Amino acid sequence: MIAECVRKFLDIETEELRNEGERFEVTAERLSAINSTRYGRLAVMVEEPPAETVTEPQKPKRRTRRAKATEE
């Protein structure tokens, strides 16, 4: 997921200084850890990756017989 900095902070895990408005990729657990400090909310989720949809494989279409034309 993509997060955006609300306040400037030092990201201890990556050892990077994150500036206000900067966007970076994090997991939900990491974002929770960043916001659980005594400094309060430091980053917010901006976008979440699209959910992977599992689709069943399509079955091939069955051939049908055509009705015989009757002559009158």
Closest by CA position to 5, among listed 37, 35, 36: 35
Task: Report if pTM > 0.75.
Answer: no
Are 1 and 27 within 8 A, CB to CB?
Answer: yes
| Per-residue DSSP letter, 1 | -
pLDDT of 4-59, one tens digit each?
Answer: 999 999 998 989 999 999 999 999 999 999 999 899 999 999 987 666 666 666 66
Q: Give the residue ranges of DSSP H helices in 1-72.
A: 28-35
Which tokens sit at 28? Answer: 């939900």
* Residues 54, 58, 61: CA angle, nearest 5 degrees: 170
